[in-house]
Amino acid sequence: MVNLKNFTHIFRSYDIRGIYGKDLDEEIMEIIGNSITKLVKENIVVAMDMRESSEKLKKAFVSGVTKSGKDTLDLGLIPMGAALFYTCKNNKTLAYITASHLPKEWNGVKFFHPNGEGFIEEENSRIRDEFLKGRIIKGKKQGESFYINSKEIIEDYKKYLLSKIQVKKKLRIVLDCGNGMASLIAKDLFEKAGFSTVPLFDELDGSFPNRNPEPEADMLTRLREEAKSSDLGIAYDGDADRMVLVDDKGRKLTAEQVSFLVLSELLKKESGGIVANVECSRVLDDIAKKFNRNIIRFRVGHPYLVHEALENKASFGAESSGHYIIPSLVPFDDSLAVSLYAASVLSKKDEKLSKIVDRIKTYPFDRINFKCPDEKKFSIIEKLKEKFLKEYENINTIDGIRIDFDKGWVLIRASNTSPLIRLTVEANDKEEFEKLKEEFSKILEEEIK
């Protein structure tokens, strides 16, 4: 038996992740599957993405659950949104085997409540505590695993989304699936909605041969070129829970620009406010004022996005990383649903997307990644928090350290999914931006050293 204390780092704020074969294997995953049965009373729905290790890890997880005496419902390969559509509809807990946007050698598992909210840090910590006991608890009888046909679920999910969307004119849309889970649904969904599509990398391949599963701008060369002769480009991450939009000039839109497009139509009917994480630009505050809505800020992480949106009866929620929620559409964050809605909004406009987003005032803004070992990043944040609380007045520590100044703000926070500390800087003008960026980059570099 391995020393389980060596694996505590895989339990993160809103999921469990590690490098397959190093941090995570079948033995570890079986214990995780058994451990969650101490927290979840009902049977568990299990699904997965197309990573090369997902099938093996899913089987190990199922083994851990069924040894406890509980049953599993196995959806197999299915996009995250379709899996959540099924579990919300049937009031079930979901375990989804994935490492989302991380490179191919990573894998893990995300847990979701029956209402679509992801497990938060405290809940994943309780699973970790059970895991560390190192015992496989066996039930009075062995549980069973029942296979559910995911094709039927996907068809129901598509029919539901199409019933909620109205398209005014036929647009040409480029769909970069990145060989991820969006490949199973995106082309058919958008064409049935009434769009013309140009699919890119839409064959499932867990080795991600064409681009990194994270849809960063520098990885989207093909999409950005194709979008220049189209109306809209969309890229998805590995498990299809995040997306980015690209305009007809080949520019990747910010989360704030995506939000403006969606809200321009959504708020004609919706009365709720807007939720946004602490990383989102003050551009979103300007947009909220334009629509006479308030903004509620929350911690970075998709579980907090969904929780705050549902808790506050919000009309819309956004994360700077590309997670969005429209609760009246689906009560969870779902890139396929929101991207389809965004395309339908654009179909009702008389202007090109580039002209729409060019009207949005922006500020100098950047997010810089600093490599930092997982075992050190949170202690560094705590040291800086102690230091800054003595030096600055306007500080928010809901997630990392955000310091607001008269002409800008900075946020320093540890990534919950990668060995990184991120510095986010925004200011009213370029001079102030460069000053803040240089000052806090030096502070962070010295602290990491």
What is the number of other CB atoms lying within 10 angstroms of the CB of residue 353?
A: 27
3-state secondary structure of 407: coil
Distances (CA, A) of 109 to 96, 299, 313, 349, 418: 5, 21, 28, 40, 15
Distances (CA, A) of 147 to 139, 204, 404: 21, 21, 52
Rg from Cα positions in the chain: 22
**CA–CA separation, 83 and 70 (whole Å):** 20
Among candidate residues 281, 266, 267, 271, the one with its CA nearest the CA of residue 319:
281
Quick one: which H or E segment has residue 311? helix 302-311
Distances (CA, A) of 175 to 56, 160, 233, 436, 448: 29, 20, 6, 37, 39
Strand partners, 81: none
Catalytic residue at 100? yes
Catalytic residue among 13, 54, 63, 100: 100
Which ranges of 37-120 does DSSP label H, i.e. alpha helix? 54-67, 80-90
Residues with active-site annotation: 100
